[in-house]
A and B are shown apart, each in its own frame.
Chain A
Amino acid sequence: MPFDEISAGLDLLFQAGPLAWLLLGVTLGFVVGVLPGLSTSNTAALLLPFSIGLPLESSLVLIVSIYAGAAFGGAVPAILVNVPGETGSAVTALDGYPMAKRGEGGYAIGIARMASVLGGVISGIVVLLVLEPLGGLALKFGAREMFVVILLGFVVASSIMGSNVRKGILAGVLGLLLATVGASPLTAQNRFTFDILDLYEGIPFLPALIGAFAISEMLLLAGSKDPTKPGGKIVGLGGIRQQLSDALRGVKTTLAHPVAVLRASSIGMFLGVIPGVGTSIANFVSYGLAKRQSKEPEQFGKGEPKGVIASEACDNAVTSATLVPTLTLGIPGSATMAVVLAAFYLQGIAPGPRVLVTNSAEVYAVVLALLVASLLILPLGILLAAPLTQISRMPISFLVPGVVFVSLAGAFASRSSLFDVALTVIFGVVAYIMRLHGYPVIPLILGLILGPLAEEYLLRGLTLGNDQMSYFFDSAVVNVLWFLLAAMVVYLVVSGRRDAVRRRRRAEGSGPAGPQLLEEPADRRVSTVSTTAGRPGPDGVTGERPADGASPPSQAPDDRNAP
């Protein structure tokens, strides 16, 4: 175990500055999680330009702690209002909301809170243990291997973060192409700058990121049916004594089901390591397994505490696990991790195999920050759950102009450039249209961020191989990676076609409105009022609207989980 590195990470984290940002980040995460319409990745993207001025470790800690807070925060409106604040919490609503209707809302939140803490802590500890061996393995990769790893990451992200491989790959390659704007990596030739001075350093990915995530999201909200309408009716939580009592009951119930917690955390860890899977799919898998292994599966969906545990422990376990591919390979495991990746780059650190050598203290500080943030959910969650439920009623009409304003301010603040502000809105509009057509925007942004690196590895590999492409097939490791890449492409194409045929058959068989779900009693459905549900996420997929535990999850892997 890398005790020295962990100790260095602890030293970095346990200072007044980073701890204060951690506290602020978790609190902000709660707000974001509770607030339908504003995702974790959007908020992280909005904060990015302002975090540049912070010390390195504080900046990274702030971004990742939002992630942990939001993972739990989304459960509160899901339970109380039946409106998931983030898509991962949609599964929590399946049992949490029926509990709230029975007058056990506080108890359900107590279970969700403790399960979130345990899932986050268990997963965080495992990540601390596996980071070094996995990082060591990745260190054996040279230029050609890294080039293939980046391609692999693109294919995975382009496909899993969207419903259609072709659309994802088109978005990803477009991002790679846009990344070639500016000075070339080897000879600094000006490429496609059209004599615009602001483009000489390339298309800045921060305005692109803010535009693609936040502005497009706000445009989607602006186009929704009734932006002045507040969220649903809130179920009361009672006084502070009642809340403490509910919290204690929640802790006891969660601890009484250690197998359920471990199972959910394990699923979260396993699926979270795979880039792009995200919480929504993992939570559904966890919930489905918990239901299948239960002695009383018929209780699921009617207010079963184990259903809440399955969702929330898994949710927070995914959060930590997504750090693994992000840090060791430089491939973000989710939309928020794409922002974390951007935060590293903005601080001059390139996540990937060498990051554990060059910046191990910062890396371990980030993992530890997620772990501590998970622990903070318990006290902060008790203090803030009741007031934060009121925030979930904020109408979209007030949210949208505020977020657009902060987006533009953030875009300007990064380089003090009005060009960047305009670029933000342009990327926002492009991403908005992409999302309306089911094109995921995350690959586009990944292309912009990783494009220069991909080109550099490719050109370096060509130099090492004397301009022979055969060099890229000249080692066992690289061939294994090529095989994985090919297998992934074949799998995605085949499974994509199979899914399309299945969906079409179902649509043809049951009519266009999907009556099997519409026939559910209204109170069993998860409300879509003011949420991302029903709108395409940055992954290009419409947010899921689960009506039943057996309903298949739509792919909305971003951590809201649905940039």
Chain B
Amino acid sequence: MTTSSRSTGDVRPGIGRRLWLVSVPLFALVVAGGILAVSGEITGREGTYPRVLAGIIIVLALISMRSDYVMARRDEHDGAGPMAVPGEEHGAPAAPLHEEGAEDFEGSRGAGVAWKRVLALTAVTFLAIYLMSWLGFFIPATLLVGGGLIVLGVRTWWKVATYTGGLVVGAYLLFVEALGVPFPPAPWS
């Protein structure tokens, strides 16, 4: 995803940034629309209730899409700087509005976020969850903790190994041995 411009104000943002600016109401709109689309088979009041809620969300989401977009553009124009888009390292430069002591209007919208780290951590987490159904809980958990440490900038190998090993072994002893939580077992056990 790219931004159409890094200058403030007057240039219309690219489609990626526009979608990002309205991502929350857009998500709500998709959920509500989806529920409305499949709610036909539910009969009686128990179908009416979610349909009414979905209708309310659609109205609110449409209003919010417009308001969020206008507000973001106005903040940009006022000098807050262009808004970040996920996938870019640090997004756009940190918006001055959110420097220390500054007012917060509408949340940071991702400005100043180290997106590569966030996306890498999320990817490592989802990968670990995917592997859990194949390798049990604790081997992917080792990947999660170790990978998480590396993603977040810990480069000293013994620190990574000690912390990961200590945490995972400690968790195994606590959850499996002491509390008896039936975590998915490793394939050989």
A interface residue numbers (CB < 8 A to B): 50, 53, 163-164, 166-167, 169-170, 173-174, 176-178, 180, 184-187, 189, 191-192, 218-219, 222-228, 396-398, 400-402, 404-406, 408-409, 412-413, 416, 418, 421-422, 425, 429-430, 432-439, 455, 458-459, 462, 500, 503-504, 506-508, 511-514, 516-518, 520, 525, 528, 534-536, 540-542, 545, 547, 554
B interface residue numbers (CB < 8 A to A): 21, 23-25, 27-28, 31-32, 35, 38-39, 42-47, 49-50, 53-54, 56-57, 60-61, 63-64, 67-68, 78-80, 95-110, 112-115, 117-118, 121-122, 125-126, 128-129, 132-133, 137, 141, 144-149, 151-154, 163-164, 167-168, 171, 175, 179, 181-184
Q: How far is the CA of A541 from the CA of B103 in the complex (A)?
A: 11
CB-defined A-B contacts under 8 Å, sample of 30: A166-B67, A191-B46, A222-B114, A222-B151, A226-B153, A397-B153, A401-B152, A404-B148, A406-B171, A408-B125, A418-B132, A425-B129, A430-B27, A433-B23, A437-B106, A439-B107, A459-B45, A459-B46, A462-B45, A507-B97, A507-B105, A511-B79, A512-B96, A512-B102, A513-B96, A514-B97, A517-B102, A528-B100, A536-B104, A536-B107
Nearest A residue to B36, CB-CB: A177
Nearest A residue to B166, CB-CB: A402
Decide: A421 near B181, CB < 8 A? Known: A406-B171, A507-B78.
Answer: no
Q: How far is the CA of A508 from the CA of B74 in the complex (A)?
A: 11
What residues on A are CB-neighbors of B182 within 8 Å? 416
CB of B104 within 8 A of CB of A177, answer no
Taking a contact as CB atoms closer than 8 A, the residue among A167, A397, A405, A554 that contacts B104 in the complex is A554
What residues on A are CB-neighbors of B181 within 8 Å? 409, 412-413, 416
Q: How far is the CA of A174 from the CA of B117 in the complex (A)?
A: 29
Taking a contact as CB atoms closer than 8 A, the residue among A192, A223, A227, A518 that contacts B101 in the complex is A518
Nearest B residue to A169, CB-CB: B60
CB of A400 within 8 A of CB of B121, answer yes
Starting from the known contacts A425-B126, A536-B108, 16 additional A-B residue pairs (CB-CB under 8 Å) come to A164-B106, A167-B64, A169-B60, A184-B46, A186-B44, A189-B47, A191-B42, A192-B50, A401-B149, A418-B133, A429-B122, A437-B24, A458-B49, A512-B78, A534-B98, A535-B108
What residues on A are CB-neighbors of B61 within 8 Å? 170
Q: How far is the CA of A169 from the CA of B182 in the complex (A)?
A: 39
What residues on A are CB-neighbors of B128 within 8 Å? 408
Q: How far is the CB of B68 from chain A (nearest CB, A)?
A: 7
Nearest A residue to B180, CB-CB: A53
What residues on B are CB-neighbors of A189 within 8 Å? 42-43, 46-47
CB of B49 within 8 A of CB of A405, answer no
What residues on A are CB-neighbors of B112 within 8 Å? 225
What residues on B are CB-neighbors of A218 within 8 Å? 121
Nearest A residue to B153, CB-CB: A228
Q: How far is the CA of A534 from the CA of B113 in the complex (A)?
A: 12
Nearest B residue to A467, CB-CB: B45
CB of B107 within 8 A of CB of A436, answer yes
What residues on A are CB-neighbors of B96 within 8 Å? 512-513
CB of A434 within 8 A of CB of B24, answer yes
Q: How far is the CB of B116 from chain A (nearest CB, A)?
A: 9
Q: How far is the CB of B33 from chain A (nearest CB, A)?
A: 11
Nearest B residue to A170, CB-CB: B60
CB of A518 within 8 A of CB of B99, answer yes
Nearest B residue to A433, CB-CB: B23
Q: How far is the CB of B157 from chain A (nearest CB, A)?
A: 14
Q: How far is the CA of A170 from the CA of B66 in the complex (A)?
A: 14
Decide: A187 near B149, CB < 8 A? Known: A222-B117, A513-B97.
Answer: no
What residues on B are CB-neighbors of A167 within 8 Å? 24, 64
Q: How far is the CA of A167 from the CA of B61 in the complex (A)?
A: 9
Q: How far is the CB of A44 from chain B (nearest CB, A)?
A: 18
Decide: A400 near B56, CB < 8 A? Known: A174-B31, A512-B102.
Answer: no
Q: How far is the CA of A438 from the CA of B107 in the complex (A)?
A: 4
Q: How far is the CA of A401 from the CA of B151 in the complex (A)?
A: 10
10 residue pairs, one from A and one from B, having the closest CB atoms: A517-B101, A438-B107, A401-B148, A397-B152, A514-B102, A542-B104, A184-B46, A223-B113, A512-B79, A180-B50
Q: How far is the CB of A488 from chain B (nearest CB, A)?
A: 17
What residues on B are CB-neighbors of A500 within 8 Å? 105
What residues on A are CB-neighbors of B21 within 8 Å? 437
Taking a contact as CB atoms closer than 8 A, the residue among A173, A398, A425, A433 that contacts B53 in the complex is A173
CB of B28 within 8 A of CB of A174, answer yes
Nearest A residue to B181, CB-CB: A413
What residues on B are CB-neighbors of A547 within 8 Å? 101
CB of A180 within 8 A of CB of B106, answer no
Q: How far is the CA of A406 from the CA of B95 in the complex (A)?
A: 33
Nearest A residue to B106, CB-CB: A438
Q: How far is the CB of A211 from chain B (nearest CB, A)?
A: 11
Taking a contact as CB atoms closer than 8 A, the residue among B28, B105, B109, B171 that contacts A170 in the complex is B28
Decide: A223 near B31, CB < 8 A? Known: A437-B68, A508-B78.
Answer: no
